[in-house]
Structure 1
Amino acid sequence: MRRPALLLLTGGLGLAVVFGLLQLTRRQAEVQPQVPSPVVRAPEAVAALGRLAPAGDVRRLAAPISGFGGTPRVAELLVSEGESLRKGQVLARFDNRPQIQADLAGVQARLRTRAAEIKLQVREVQRYAKAAEVGAASLVLLDEKRDELLRLQGEQQQAEAEQRKLMADLANSELRSPLDGLALRIHTREGERPGSDGVIEVGASQAMGALLEVYESDINRVRVGQPVALTSENGGFKGTLSGSVTAISPQVRQRQVLSTDPTGDADARIVEVRVKLDPQSAQRVRSLAGMKVIARFSAQ
């Protein structure tokens, strides 16, 4: 008689356990696991080193070639780096200028003499022509006077051509600025003979900009029109300059602007990026071409 009761009790207990397990499973199924959302990082801004440079025209001015195929030495250097220039301003004079001036003076003196001789010879020809008309002079003598006049006129033309050449050489014995701008860099000093770099570089500084060197690994995050903030690496100017990217070079080059960090890699490969400064920023650094800057491109 006790066995059925025990079975009933045991069966009831088993049902309770099963029912509890089912409830627990259902609650676990209802509770969805919370998967954390992926963290989206903001794109890092690109930084680069560079230098201030005129955004306009830059000219490298060479010395003239002398008549012997060489170049004269610089006798006088009349400007210094960073100086503002105006179009037509004399920047330097060469040591061949005194010789050209002497040769020109000699040619001009010869021209004055020939002009006087031609004037007299014209009168002589007219006089002999009248005499030949009345038989007082032979036609042969008249032809000789005319030939002499032609010779003097030919020498005058040659002297005039020589004078034009010397005038051109005299103008080239002075180096003048071809534009309003700034003396960027002087390659040849007084007493030196200019080499392949010329005498001086001048730039149109009315629109100042910057030439930046972006690592080739970062160039894919730089675009034309992208805003750029510039600061001086060594405190050459205070605050921040504003500008925007105007051009990206299609060529990868070796780094030229080195950091003050001694661990900087001088062999790094970079892409040149040109930036034009806003008018207010350009005015602040108008006379600071060549100054090293740190650029930070706005994150895209």
Structure 2
Amino acid sequence: MNLDVLNHQAASTKAPRRWLVFAGAAILGLAGVTAWRVWHFQATQMREAKTDVTVAPEIPTVTALGRLEPAGEMINLTAPTSTQESRIDQLLVKEGDRVEAGQVIAILNNRDRLQASLQKAEQQVRVAQAKLAQVQAGAKAGELQAQRAEIARLQADRAGNLAAQRAATARLEAQVQNARIEYERYESLYQQGAVSTSQRDAKRLTYTTAQQQLQETQAELGRIQTTSQEQIQQAQATLDQLAEVRSVDVEAAQAEVQSAIASVAEAKANLKQAEVRSPRAGQIIKIHTHAGEKIADHGIVTLGQTQQMIAIAEVYQTDIPQIRVGQLATITSPVIPDSLQGKVERVGLQVEPQQVVDEDPAANIDAKVIEVHIRLDPNSSQKVAGLTNLQVTVTIQTH
């Protein structure tokens, strides 16, 4: 009996143990299946992730701060140096206006004075030209006619005076002849004692007086001949001088005309400086000097060609080896709702301190950068034509 009890107890003890063994084996099997499924799922996800990375690889880029500017250099337009002390009389443009090359944008307050100087110089040209025409034409017809009449008068006077003087001379010669004969007769009578001494002396005095009068008349005749001829010659010389057009006089008059014309050119140049003109087409970005004000140190206006905008990115010198002309670039700013597109147009050649700074003071270190010019496409340029100097972020694709 004791043996049966023991056998029954032993059999009862073995039954639970078998159950535990089977239960443990089932749990282990279930855990293995679960672990395999988890591993299989993770492996599948890893393969899919690897497939995604292979399809869309990351694009290498260089990012830098920059600013927007019009294509080409912006210029501060001012007045010529000689008119720096002048003031603006009229300002003919406002900010945002587009101007053409050569268009007048401002008029200085010295224009009226310079305009008067030009008119005076032009009048001097007309005076000099009239004088030249007068020299080339010679004396006036009236002056020539009057001089010819003067010569004719002198000649007539000479002829009349000579005729009268010759007649007087002939008369005196006859008187001298008669007085001589009378004197010689009385001298003979005196020798004969027929007449007195006083009678003879009277006849001699008459003869001597007649001789003296004849000599005086002959001298006057010679004077008339000489003097009147000289007067006629002088009058003829004056006539010749009036009628003559001397080349030296013409050249002198021509020189005066040329000098007057040069003065006009100078006056026009001075007047032109009173009108400030745009040297090229562009847009008025900023006005520095208004009407009535003295020209500011920055000039009158700032002019730029905003129809084509560029972004100037300040790229760290260590990133420059990755930058090439033609690379695509994206430009963004909180002010711009959409990103801008462009291409690298030029890479600078000089390392400079960073000018565009980040809003985070901790990021503003003394960095060395090189300017990279990105030319915006037409659509992007149109969007930001009025945002010169806007700070932007430039991302350049370097692949």
Give the TM-score normalised by structure 2: 0.54
Matching residue of 2:62:
46
- Partner secondary structure for residue 239 of structure 1: coil
Greater gyration radius: 2
Picking from 286, 290, 293, the partner of 2:389 is 290
Kindly state the Cα deviation for residue 253 of structure 1 after the two structures are TM-superposed: 0.6
Q: Structure 1 residue 103 and structure 2 residue 117: aligned?
A: yes
1:267 aligned partner: 366
Change (3 A) 1:192 1:260: farther
Letter in 2 for 1:265: N
RMSD: 3.5
Relative to structure 1, is the Cα distance of residues 73 and 263 closer, same or farther in structure 2, using a 3 angstrom cutoff?
Answer: farther
**Is the partner of 1:102 in helix, strand or coil?**
helix
- SS state at 1:54 partner: strand
TM-score by length of 1: 0.70
Of residues 127-136 and 166-175 in structure 1, the stretch that sits farther from structure 2 once superposed is 127-136
2:324 maps to a residue whose letter is R
Paired residue for 1:93?
107
Q: Which residue of 1 aligns with 2:205?
A: none
AA matched with 1:192: K
CA distance in 2, matches of 1:47, 1:253: 17
Matched, 1:227 2:241: no
- Alpha-carbon distance in 1 for matches of 2:363, 2:299: 31
Is the 1:61–1:200 contact (alpha carbons within 8 Å) kept by the matching residues of 2? yes
Match of 2:86 in 1: 73
Corresponding residue pairs, total: 256
Map of 1:255 onto structure 2: 354
Aligned counterparts of 1:267 and 1:192: Cα–Cα separation in 2: 39
Deviations 1:168-213 (A, max 9, x none): 2212221212222222444555523454x55444233332211111
AA of the residue aligned to 1:65? T
Question: C-alpha deviations, 1:101-143, integer Å up to 9, x for none?
Answer: 1211221233334444444554453649966999484334556
Q: Which runs of 5+ in 2 are unaligned?
A: 1-52, 152-235
> Offset of 1:274 from its aligned partner?
0.1
Relative distance call for 1:212 and 1:125 in structure 2 (3 A) is: farther
Counterpart position of 1:21:
none
Equivalent residue, structure 1, for 2:170: none
More helix by share: 2
Q: 1:81 to 1:267 in 2, by over 3 A?
A: farther
SS of the residue 2:81 aligns to: coil
Q: In structure 1, what is the equivalent of residue 214 of structure 2? A: none
Q: Which residue of 1 aligns with 2:139?
A: 125
Change beyond 3 A, Cα 1:210–1:88: same
1:158 and 2:259 correspond: yes
- 2:341 paired with 1:242: yes
Give yes or no for the alignment of 1:192 onto 2:294: yes
Unaligned runs of at least 5 residues, structure 1: 1-38
